[in-house]
Amino acid sequence: MILRAWRPNDLENLVKYANNPKIAQNLTDAFPYPYTEEKGIQFIEMAVNHDIQRIFCIDINGEALGAIGIHPQTDIYCKNAELGYWLAETQWGKGLITEAIKQIVDYGFQKFDITRIFARPFGHNIASQKVLEKAGFTLEAKLEKTLYKNGEYLDELIYAVRK
Give the β-pairing of 63-72 and 80-87.
antiparallel
Contacts 24+ apart (CB under 8 A), 19-26: 20/88, 20/89, 22/89, 23/86, 23/89, 25/149, 25/150, 26/86, 26/121, 26/122, 26/125, 26/128
Which pLDDT value is given to residue 154?
98
Contact (CB, 8 A) for 1 and 60: yes
Which pLDDT value is given to residue 5?
97
The residues, ordered by sequence, that sit 6+ positions from 48 with a Cβ below 8 Å of its Cβ are 5, 6
**How does pLDDT run along the chain (163 residues), one tens digit per residue?**
999 999 999 999 999 999 999 999 999 999 999 999 999 999 999 999 999 999 999 999 999 999 999 999 999 999 999 999 999 999 999 999 999 999 999 999 999 999 999 999 999 999 999 999 999 999 999 999 999 999 999 999 999 999 9
Which pLDDT value is given to residue 3?
98
Which pLDDT value is given to residue 68?
98
CATH among 3.40.50.720, 3.40.630.30, 1.20.140.10, 3.40.1050.10 for 2-162: 3.40.630.30
